[in-house]
Amino acid sequence: MGLHEEIYEQPLVLGRLLESQLDTVQRIAAAIKKADIDYIFLTARGTSDHAGLYAKYLWGMVNQLPVALAAPSHFSVYKQPPRLNRAAVVGISQSGQSPDIVSVLAEGRRQGALTVAITNAPDSPLAENADHVLDISAGPEKAVAATKTYTAQLMAIGMLSAALCENNQMFERLQQVPAQVQEMLALDASIRQITERYRYMTHCVVLGRGYNYATAFEWSLKLKELTYVVANPYSPADFQHGPIAIVEEGFPVLAVAPQGAVRENLQALLQRLKDELRAELLILSNDEATLDLAHTPLKLPKEMPEWVSPLVSIIPAQLYCYHLTLAKGWDAEAPRGLKKVTETK
């Protein structure tokens, strides 16, 4: 099974996760509430770290739980960890193998903190150091570029948020995600045609804010690891504090801008990029006025709350990266210099 097939597995994976892990999610939420914590201390690397960015926004806003993203070298290299006794320590990892991520959970357990592993490997070292394990149930992921494990991690984070606030409407909304992911997969052929326009792209920026700040980082990573395009992710606010100076006529700007609290702000920036700087705009959105600004518009589902959108908006981005890789003549199954499991210390 290759990358393209794993992208297509995502509706099944997400539906299975919703069905199989509900009891586990509710037990973990109950344990977190019982522990009376002050904050979440979250550790991850790579794609899983981008899932952590989503958790930072979702758990912070919906559940009023501050989320601190760990610097694993505090634990693995410097051996000077912070105090964690008032935290729930959460590790997110597809493989559960990386020693630096494992070291954070091990230290959290040593200090008496509640520890949780969100992983696709429930028998991994990460899971062994966790009081609670949330198996994302994605099945074997053979492709080097993570796709289905990323969206499954996002789904697990969303389920935990709903369980923590005992919100059945959130669970009902998550139940609609597999069908919306399937809807995005129907864009496959049109996205393949679109990528010919970007065949010779060597650099770009990817914009996203709020919940989709995570999407910008994940889209950027997939571009780098598969297509070798120098792709830098920014929030619109950070982008205007200096990096916008790199934009000239024809410079590619990729943006994820669904309806929600940050859409108006992002749309204003995209308008400027088009009218004043004449950038090349590829936009993911479900807002017609925003899509009208794009040279290349990709339409997201209309009825989609902003907090859910990262689970859906990443699908056309994954397909775009896959087809652009092939258009450039690269092998999507063997990105240079990479392997499936990266064990950092």
To the query of whether residue 224 is one of the catalytic residues in this protein, the response is: no
268 assigned to some structural domain: yes
Contact of 54 with 310, CB cutoff 8 Å: yes
286 half-sphere exposure, CB direction, 13 A CA radius: 18
C-alpha–C-alpha distance, residues 332 and 133, integer Å: 31
Residue at a domain's end among 126, 145, 175: 175
Q: Are strands 87-93 and 39-43 parallel, antiparallel or unpaired?
A: parallel
CATH of the domain at 276: 3.40.50.10490
Domain that holds residue 269: 184-327
Same structural domain for residues 128 and 230? no
pLDDT band of 76, cuts 50, 70, 90: confident
Same structural domain for residues 125 and 203? no
Same structural domain for residues 20 and 76? yes
Selection from 40, 48, 107, 33 nearest residue 68 by Cα: 40
Give how many domains the chain has, as a whole number. 2
Q: Is 189 exposed, middle or buried (0-12, 13-18, 19+ CB in 10 A)?
A: exposed
DSSP 21: S
Same structural domain for residues 98 and 122? yes
120 assigned to some structural domain: yes
C-alpha–C-alpha distance, residues 32 and 63, integer Å: 12
**Can you give the pLDDT at residue 148?**
98
Out of 33, 302, 340, 345, the active site residue is 340
C-alpha–C-alpha distance, residues 159 and 300, integer Å: 22
**Can you give the pLDDT at residue 72?**
86
Residue at a domain's end among 152, 175, 198: 175
Q: Which two tokens stand for residue 259?
A: 């309806």
**Can you give the pLDDT at residue 325?**
98
Same structural domain for residues 222 and 310? yes
- Write down the residue that tokens 């970007």 correspond to: 198
Burial letters for 228-245: b for 16+ Cβ neighbours within 10 Å, e otherwise? ebebbbbbbeebeeeebe
Q: What's the pLDDT tens digit per position in 15-54? A: 999 999 999 999 999 999 999 999 999 999 999 999 999 9
Q: Which two tokens stand for residue 232?
A: 């830098």
Given a cut of 80, whether residue 344 has pLDDT beyond it is no
C-alpha–C-alpha distance, residues 323 and 243, integer Å: 28
339 assigned to some structural domain: no
C-alpha–C-alpha distance, residues 137 and 112, integer Å: 28
